[in-house]
Structure formats: structure tokens, C-alpha cells
Amino acid sequence: MTWTERILEFPVRAAAVDDFLRELKAKGSGDLNAVLSTLNESGLCRQAVDHWVGQGWIVPAPNSPLIALRGPTFARDLSLHDFCGELEEAAEAVAPTEEAEQESETHGDS
């Protein structure tokens, strides 16, 4: 089960992330501590925050790591599913691997 599924398939987790996203949209900041407490799994928290920070959607507040601020690439039309990496994971599932592409070229398949 991916980190995306571990959030979206559990209503309490999905609701917490949705509330966090709504706060970011409305106020420009969100209670990072609250959402991470609800996720309640260190690996899952790390993956989610790494994804959000890596996308540029959030940045930890300089005066408190318990608060997140909207990042430079945050968009108000960001959906819960996008925020949880669903589209990114779907693209990875369909994208051919580099190894498969090399094998295709080697065997003359197109």
C-alpha cells in the first residue's frame, strides 16, 4: 500500500489532510502538527511532508516547525487527491521503466 493509499483509504486521515489543505487555501498557513498527529505513523508523515515540501506546496514556518506556510508553487485549485500524490503515483504506474525501453530497443520492438 502506497503512502497515498494509506491516507486516502482511511477517512480520518483523509479528513485531516483535507482540513490542512483547506487551512492553507484559506489562511496561507496550516497546523502541521495536527495533521501529522492524525496520520500517526512516522514513515507516512515523513513521506507526506517530503512530497509537499518537494512540490513546493508547503514550507515549515521559520518560527515554528508545527506550522506550515503555503509554498511558492501552492495553487488554490489543488485537490486532496493531487495533494496526496495520487496523480503522480498513477503516472509512475503507467510510465515504462528505462530498463524496459532499453530492452525494447535491443530486441527491435517498437
Q: How far apart are CA 72 and CA 56, in angstroms?
A: 6
26 grid coordinates: 484559506
Q: Could you tell me the residue range of the domain that residue 39 belongs to?
A: 3-106
Q: Give residue-wise pLDDT tens across range 37-53.
A: 999 989 999 999 999 99
Q: How far apart are CA 57 and CA 78, in angstroms?
A: 9
> In the chain, where do the E strands start and end?
29-31, 58-61, 64-70
**Residue 91: pLDDT over 60:** no
**Per-residue confidence at 24, pLDDT binned at 50, 70, 90?**
very high
* Number of domains forming the structure of the chain: 1
Report field, pTM of the whole predicted structure over 0.85: no
Helices 11-27, 32-39: axis angle to 10 degrees equals: 170
Q: Give residue-wise pLDDT tens across range 57-79.
A: 999 999 998 999 999 999 999 99
CATH of the domain at 93: 1.10.10
